């Protein structure tokens, strides 16, 4: 029998060039697919060619091409992505009398010149209702302003340069005081002083200082930052890596966007300090695809820091070398979960891993990896510059340091502020939010984020921190959506479940089916078609998702469900009839 060689046609030279430009390995898969999608060239043929150029099976590349919401295998015109997150929904309900189909309304007004799509939360909650115009962020935007948007108007950005009464600013102290695109401005205000001081000490000293400060992760879980770094530093395997989680895809949360936008060098300094403490030489900032503006700002800041020898080879003659990369996501809430983020960074579908092992022992590329969010890294330079005791002195609460909070909804002064831990919801509303809007009476609040607790007036005076969830009110990432008497608990919970349903990665049945079935029930109840037993089924589904979902995101869907049903069971009972 004669052996015959199988001859394959050459790889499309344009795609091969694109693949090599991004590194030529499977880790470049998402960047290659995003570029193809942006040029309206993403289809089964080009995905197969990209897979060949990146040396991976075609079905894996296709799986990625159909996983991320910002990618499309269909040719589209210029894209308007209209946010239907709960904050934008609430804002439109107030302004437009309950209008929930903004994407449909916009589609009828653009005369086929734009492709209009709904999208999950854009991280622009302080600019709600928000829209993404191609890669440009816009808001607040009402449906009647469609012509202005199409002609280049982008709304009004929120100004946080003015300090609110009662604030204690640390991470937000330089907002409005520096040009975020000027490293010289940053240096004149003391940015990178913490790094300069740390490089005169051993990495063990830096690690001990962060541990002594009591800094807890600001992403929601509150795990001690120094302890995580010590896990990584104590691993014998090298190389070790640092990852900054800048995905920030959860509704209500936008603080990391503001921190990156107003002082990017603060973040780079914090990441570099983590690398020094952990014995790492490379880091990745995984930033959500909807934050293109912030990604470009970070890339400019990295170039500036390298030019000043504050990043790169032999930083300031210390012998320590460190490189930071910016990696863009492409629309997937699940990538906020650290192992799903790592999978995505490795050029795979962003689905969570089974844990253990945990990233500090087996993370990116199977190596020890420290993953923290933007706010956590931004706190570190101040601790190294001023000392752990100074950080602890900023608050009377048991949790050291300050927190960047967000207050939204029916308050007079929504937005972002920085203050110590231990605030009550009443203080957040009255002292920092300016009180309820005219004619509004507090009914409930979603606390922490989309996966947080929903509370009624009985919990207005509980000090909020990482342990307060045991009393029924969670801190989470630090955001609070305040709702007045006009908001239906049934309709509001429906909007949350809509988000979780469309953003479920689909890996496990409890989350994939549980969110869908819960949304189906809530749709019926909100439209007056509820039936006996609906509330009990929602309770059962919440317990099922909590007990058996594969990852923490699926498990956390039960938190707002259970708390809403606990506090407003009577209104759900009415919706059954």
pLDDT, averaged across the chain = 94
Averaged pLDDT, 61-82: 91
Evaluate if residue 5 carries a pLDDT over 80.
Answer: no
282: which strand partners? 241, 323
Evaluate if residue 512 carries a pLDDT over 50.
Answer: yes
Compute the distance between CA of residue 231 and CA of residue 469 in angstroms, rounded to an integer. 27
- Read off the pLDDT of residues 461-493 as tens digits, 9 standing for 90 and up: 999 999 999 999 999 999 999 999 999 999 999
244: which strand partners? 285, 372
Residue-level pLDDT at 398: 85
Pick from 258, 237, 278, 262: nearest CA to 380: 278
Averaged pLDDT, 63-88: 91
Residue-level pLDDT at 40: 86
Residue-level pLDDT at 188: 98
Q: 414: which 2 tokens? A: 């929504």
138: which strand partners? 131
Residue-level pLDDT at 98: 43
- Read off the pLDDT of residues 235-290 as tens digits, 9 standing for 90 and up: 999 999 999 999 999 999 999 999 999 999 999 999 999 999 999 999 999 999 99
- Read off the pLDDT of residues 15-47 as tens digits, 9 standing for 90 and up: 999 999 999 999 999 999 999 998 889 999 999
Residue-level pLDDT at 95: 44
Q: For the packed helices 13-21 and 29-38, what is the interaxial angle rounded to 10 degrees?
A: 130
**Who wins on pLDDT, 553 or 410?**
410
Compute the distance between CA of residue 242 and CA of residue 273 in angstroms, rounded to an integer. 10
Percent of the chain with pLDDT over 70: 97
Compute the distance between CA of residue 565 and CA of residue 21 in angstroms, rounded to an integer. 52
Q: 399: which 2 tokens? A: 């949790």
pTM of the model: 0.95
Compute the distance between CA of residue 540 and CA of residue 520 in angstroms, rounded to an integer. 14
124-to-44, 141, 245, 250 alpha-carbon distances in Å: 33, 11, 17, 11
Evaluate if residue 406 carries a pLDDT over 80.
Answer: yes
- Read off the pLDDT of residues 284-296 as tens digits, 9 standing for 90 and up: 999 999 999 999 9
- At 97, is the pLDDT very low, low, confident or very high (cuts 50, 70, 90)? very low
Compute the distance between CA of residue 513 and CA of residue 508 in angstroms, rounded to an integer. 8
Averaged pLDDT, 199-208: 97
* Residue 338 near residue 371 (C-beta atoms within 8 A): yes
Evaluate if residue 132 carries a pLDDT over 90.
Answer: yes
**Residue 396 burial (CB count, 10 A):** 8
First to last CA, the chain: 76
- At 1, is the pLDDT very low, low, confident or very high (cuts 50, 70, 90)? low
Residue-level pLDDT at 393: 95
Averaged pLDDT, 315-341: 96
């Amino acid at each position: 029998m004669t052996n015959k060689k199988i001859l394959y046609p050459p790889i499309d030279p344009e795609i091969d060039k694109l693949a090599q430009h991004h590194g030529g390995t499977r880790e470049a898969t998402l960047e290659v697919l995003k570029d193809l999608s942006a040029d309206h060239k993403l289809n089964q043929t080009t995905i197969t060619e990209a897979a060949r150029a990146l040396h991976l099976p075609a079905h894996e590349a296709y799986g990625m091409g159909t996983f991320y919401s910002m990618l499309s295998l269909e040719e589209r015109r210029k894209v308007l992505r209209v946010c239907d997150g709960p904050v934008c929904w609430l804002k439109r309900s107030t302004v437009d009398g309950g209008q929930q189909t903004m994407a449909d309304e916009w589609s009828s007004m653009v005369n086929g010149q734009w492709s209009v799509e709904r999208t999950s939360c854009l991280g622009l909650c302080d600019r709600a209702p928000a829209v993404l115009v191609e890669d440009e962020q816009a808001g607040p935007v009402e449906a009647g302003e469609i012509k202005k948007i199409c002609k280049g108007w982008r709304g009004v950005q929120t100004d946080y340069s003015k300090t609110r009464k009662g604030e204690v600013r640390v991470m937000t102290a330089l907002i409005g005081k520096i040009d975020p695109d000027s490293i010289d401005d940053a240096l004149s205000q003391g940015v990178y002083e913490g790094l300069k001081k740390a490089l005169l000490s051993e990495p063990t000293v830096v690690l001990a200082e962060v541990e002594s400060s009591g800094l807890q992760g600001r992403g929601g879980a509150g795990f001690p930052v120094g302890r995580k770094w010590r896990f990584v530093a104590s691993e014998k395997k090298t190389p070790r890596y640092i990852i900054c989680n800048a995905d920030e895809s959860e509704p209500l949360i936008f603080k990391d966007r503001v921190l990156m936008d107003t002082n990017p060098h603060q973040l780079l300094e914090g990441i570099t300090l983590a690398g020094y403490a952990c014995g790492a030489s490379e880091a990745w900032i995984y930033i959500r695809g909807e934050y293109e503006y912030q990604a470009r700002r970070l890339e400019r800041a990295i170039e500036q820091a390298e030019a000043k020898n504050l990043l790169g080879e032999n930083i300031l003659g210390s012998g320590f070398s460190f490189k930071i990369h910016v990696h863009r996501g492409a629309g997937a809430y699940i990538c906020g979960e650290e192992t799903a983020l790592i999978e995505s960074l490795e050029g795979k579908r962003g689905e969570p891993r089974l844990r253990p092992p945990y990233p500090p022992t087996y993370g990116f590329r199977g190596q020890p990896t420290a993953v923290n969010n933007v706010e956590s890294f931004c706190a570190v330079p101040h601790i190294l510059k001023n000392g752990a005791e100074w950080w602890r002195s900023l608050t009377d609460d048991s949790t050291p340091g300050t927190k960047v909070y967000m207050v939204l909804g029916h308050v007079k002064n929504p937005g972002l502020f920085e203050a110590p831990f231990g605030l009550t919801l009443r203080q957040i509303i009255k002292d920092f939010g300016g009180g309820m809007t005219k004619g509004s009476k507090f009914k409930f609040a979603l606390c922490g984020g989309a996966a947080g607790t929903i509370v009624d007036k009985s919990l207005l005076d509980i000090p909020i921190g990482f342990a307060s969830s045991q009393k029924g009110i969670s801190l989470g990432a630090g955001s609070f959506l305040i709702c007045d008497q006009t908001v239906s608990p049934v309709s509001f919970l429906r909007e949350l479940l809509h988000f979780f349903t469309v953003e479920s990665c689909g890996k496990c049945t409890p989350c994939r089916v549980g969110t869908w079935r819960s949304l189906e029930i809530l749709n019926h109840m909100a439209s007056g078609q509820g039936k006996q037993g609906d509330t009990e089924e929602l309770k059962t589904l919440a317990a099922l998702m909590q007990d058996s979902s594969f990852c923490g995101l699926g498990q956390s869907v039960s938190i707002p469900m259970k708390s809403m049903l606990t506090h407003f069971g009577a209104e759900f009972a009415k919706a059954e009839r």
